[in-house]
Structure 1
Amino acid sequence: MSIKTKKPGEYIRKLARKRTRSAMIRYFLAGGVSIATVWLFIIFSTSSAAILILLAGIGGSYYLCRSGRYFQKRALDAQRGAKAETDVADLLDVLELKKWHIEYNLRIQKWGDADIVLHSPKGKWYVVDVKSHGGTKIAENGRLRRRYGKNIYDFREGDLIHKVKGQAKEVRLLKSASWVTAILCFTRGGVNIAGDEINDVYVVSDGKLVDILLQLDK
């Protein structure tokens, strides 16, 4: 029976709700600042302080709205990430039928949480970090990057290869495993990497995840 102490995407859904609350609080404060600014401007309209009040109020409202939009965007990113984890979990149902043990959102010491940890019937361990970034993922000088048309960009989160290798190391210690294979799985865009591997980390699309796991487990 699979060890599912948490549901797929549970951690990141909580993060999405937290970011949404942060956005709404900032929008509410921006509205309050705007109302207070108008009220004070009317009261001090005959004073030289009126212009300062108006400028300060406009600046404060703009800052709060901009901060709210930032948190709203980050909340949408988290919601998309949670959906990606759930979609990948659905794909892994076939492995459960084959007696694989699967854990979701496993808390680890340094890297927050591991999206998916798998233990095969043959005793092999795998950690899968699920990502929903667009663009075609490519390898360039040993680094993972993404391509949109002719333009190539780094990932905003930094070195994803280093991160998932760190997760694999933490899971290896936590599970007392001799080795944990690290996998990056992308649910959007394409993956164009020779051999599906960069620096001992497998990088695949979600449609290839089950196949690569079964292949590695032979």
Structure 2
Amino acid sequence: MPKPGEYVRSRAQAYHEQAHQMLLALVKLSAAILMVLLLVQLFGQSFGFGLSPLAYACVPLPIMFGWREVAKLRDRARRNEQGATGEEAIAAILEPLKHQGWQIEYGSYIAKLGDVDAFLLSPNGRGYVVEVKSHAGLVQSNGNYLFHTPENKRRRPFQKNFLHQARQQAIAIKQIKNLGYVTPIVAFSHAVVDIKTQPVTNVYVVGQNKLVGYLQYLDNKSRYDAKKKPIKRTDKSDRPKVQKPSRRPSP
């Protein structure tokens, strides 16, 4: 079974390796260009021609143009490392639930949806999917979408629809685990969540400090609702028979 953040951290390592290999290739290419120019300069003097000093300006061009791609790979690696740290922080918070009979799985992979950060099965048989996000700042909602206010920046919507992502994962896990219903949750490990009305389009959005409390509340609520729900009669023969009053004879 994968450990918390293991899959995301492996992606970060892969991005670091790609950035290193690309930078090494760019340096080798620049060195090759320099070697060719030096050879032309050396043997060209024998034939009475030389190179302009401007020709050497093309030596750093591969690094200059390729550095942007290297920076992108390094940024992806940094964001994945931050995500792995967030998943590990959430896992530490969820750990006490194991002693209460909860089952927890991390990093379950679903085709076309990616990895599920955490799947929980309560002692009451209720399923929960937790999608972990490591953004900092303030998280709010207008009832349909999530908005992010980074430190010292303006409020803006998230680039990705985390609510849709969590719902799709919950539907997939429901089918895979053969459960009646799986509750989707988006948990922010570093942000302050200021959302008064829950859920947001059927997804609960919480900060890490309220995650365990929400899970316990939702699980107890679902158990209470199940007991409170009236039993529907499906067999008409079980219904009590009521005798219709006879019609009063006419005078």
Confirm or deny: 8 A CA contact 1:128 1:183 kept in the other structure: yes
- Structure with larger RCO (C-alpha < 8 A, sep 6+): 1
Q: How does 1:140-151 map to 2 (within 5 A)?
A: 140=142, 142-148=144-150, 149=152, 151=154
Q: Counterpart in 2 of 1:23?
A: 19
Paired with 2:153 and 2:71, the residues of 1 have a C-alpha distance of 29
Paired with 2:217 and 2:125, the residues of 1 have a C-alpha distance of 14
Paired with 1:202 and 1:208, the residues of 2 have a C-alpha distance of 11
Q: Report the residue type matching 2:13 in the other structure.
A: R
TM-score, normalisation: structure 1: 0.90
**Secondary structure of 1:184's match?**
strand
Q: Unaligned regions of 5+ residues in structure 2, if any?
A: 42-49, 221-251
Q: Report the residue type matching 1:121 in the other structure.
A: P
- State which structure, 1 or 2, has the greater radius of gyration over its C-alpha atoms: 2
Runs of 4+ in 1 over 6 A off after TM superposition: none
- 1:113-171 CA-to-partner distances (Å, cap 9, x unmatched) read 10000000011000001110122111136111101356112223x11111111111110
- The answer on 1:162 being equivalent to 2:164 is yes
Higher fraction of strand? 1
- Counterpart among 34, 37, 41 of residue 33 in structure 2: 37
Identity of aligned residues (%): 30
- The answer on 1:153 being equivalent to 2:156 is yes
Aligned length: 211
Paired with 2:193 and 2:37, the residues of 1 have a C-alpha distance of 57
Q: Counterpart in 2 of 1:111?
A: 113
Paired with 2:28 and 2:139, the residues of 1 have a C-alpha distance of 44
**Secondary structure of 1:110's match?**
coil
Paired with 1:125 and 1:145, the residues of 2 have a C-alpha distance of 27
The 3 A distance-change label for structure 1 pair 40 and 140 is: farther
After superposition, the CA RMSD in angstroms is: 1.9
Confirm or deny: 8 A CA contact 2:4 2:106 kept in the other structure: yes
TM-score, normalisation: structure 2: 0.78
Q: Report the residue type matching 2:12 in the other structure.
A: A
Confirm or deny: 8 A CA contact 1:196 1:204 kept in the other structure: no
